[in-house]
């Protein structure tokens, strides 16, 4: 199945073809339509199977095509377990937002907190970051999530292994409204911590699982 067949905005197809990407991977083929319907989803597939675009494309489609619930608040928040992963996701997102006017910020630990606060004042529609630093900015009221439309947990199993459950719950409370869509990606699903956080953060999730995962 080609990316052309998802009825994505043309502005998203151009950067894909520039990267030489034409055919969706299995997880993309299954997850993108579910996410584009606005449903909550728990998805798993092995490392390297293309999960990043499986959530970035539906998130970008939403931001390009639908009116914001709030002008000021972040619309999409993507959480990853580590700075390195956040940077990788942000790099892929940068290729998709180029030329669209959509703003994205990378908010991870180890970087200057005040510089990040200044970036957040520009009201980016996308925030990509690690749970600890995002939670710190929330506590300092530099991030507003009341109008958040999509919460995406990338590598949820690793985030929980690294002890981020409390931060995930804090972020969930700050973005707690009935219109929010939540997507959870994990390499493994047979994990009681993942099941527990999914039960607390997602509503009637659709499950998409490719192969035996990792």
Q: Give contact residues for ligand ADP (rule: CB under 6 A).
A: 21, 23-25, 28, 47-53
What is the nearest approach in angstroms of ligand ADP to the Cβ of residue 139? 29
Establish if 28 lies at the interface with Mg ion (CB under 5 A).
no
- Of 154, 117, 153, nearest to 133 by C-alpha is 117
In the region spanning residues 35 to 74, those forming contacts with Mg ion, defined by CB under 5 A, are 51
* Separation of alpha carbons 61 and 136, rounded Å: 29
With CB cut-offs between 5 and 8 Å by kind, which of Mg ion, ligand ADP, none does residue 213 bind? Answer: none
Structure tokens at 157: 């199993």
Name the residue nearer to Mg ion (CB basis): 51 or 75: 51
Return the half-sphere exposure (C-beta side, CA atoms, 13 A cut-off) of residue 63: 30
For residue 82, give every residue at least 6 positions away whose Cβ sits within 8 Å of its Cβ, in sequence order, or none.
Answer: 130, 158, 162
With CB cut-offs between 5 and 8 Å by kind, which of ligand ADP, Mg ion, none does residue 125 bind? Answer: none
Name the residue nearer to ligand ADP (CB basis): 53 or 198: 53
- Of 52, 80, 108, 105, nearest to 164 by C-alpha is 80
Establish if 133 lies at the interface with Mg ion (CB under 5 A).
no
Q: What is the DSSP annotation of 160-201?
A: HHTT-HHHHHHHHHHT--TT-EEEEEES----HHHHHHHHHH
Name the residue nearer to Mg ion (CB basis): 15 or 81: 81
Name the residue nearer to Mg ion (CB basis): 156 or 174: 156
What is the nearest approach in angstroms of Mg ion to the Cβ of residue 45? 9
With CB cut-offs between 5 and 8 Å by kind, which of Mg ion, ligand ADP, none does residue 7 bind? Answer: none
What is the nearest approach in angstroms of Mg ion to the Cβ of residue 104? 17
φ and ψ of 23, to 5 deg:
-105, 130
Name the residue nearer to ligand ADP (CB basis): 20 or 99: 20
* # chain residues binding Mg ion, by CB under 5 A: 1
Establish if 80 lies at the interface with Mg ion (CB under 5 A).
no
Alpha carbon separation from 97 to 14, 124, 168 (Å, rounded): 11, 12, 26
What is the nearest approach in angstroms of ligand ADP to the Cβ of residue 26? 10
Note the Cα 133 to chain centre separation in Å.
16
Q: Given the rule CB under 5 A, which residues bind Mg ion?
A: 51
């Amino acid at each position: 199945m080609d990316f052309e067949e998802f009825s994505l905005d043309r502005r998203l197809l151009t950067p894909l073809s520039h990267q030489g990407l034409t055919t969706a991977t299995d997880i993309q083929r299954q997850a993108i339509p579910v996410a584009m319907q606005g449903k909550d989803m728990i998805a798993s597939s092995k490392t390297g199977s293309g999960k990043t675009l499986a959530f970035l494309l539906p998130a970008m489609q939403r931001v390009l095509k639908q009116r914001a619930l709030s002008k000021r608040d972040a619309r999409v928040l993507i959480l990853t377990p580590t700075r390195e992963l956040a940077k990788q996701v942000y790099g892929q997102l940068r290729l998709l937002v180029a030329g669209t006017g959509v703003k994205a910020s990378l908010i991870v630990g180890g970087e200057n907190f005040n510089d990040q606060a200044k970036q957040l004042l520009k009201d980016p529609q996308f925030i990509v970051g690690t749970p600890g630093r995002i939670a710190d900015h929330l506590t300092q009221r530099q991030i507003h999530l009341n109008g958040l439309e999509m919460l995406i947990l990338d590598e949820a199993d690793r985030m929980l292994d690294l002890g981020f459950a409390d931060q995930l719950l804090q972020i969930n409370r700050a973005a707690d409204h009935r219109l929010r869509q939540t997507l959870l990606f994990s390499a493994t699903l047979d994990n009681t911590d993942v099941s527990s956080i999914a039960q607390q953060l997602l509503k009637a999730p659709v499950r998409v699982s490719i192969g035996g995962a990792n």
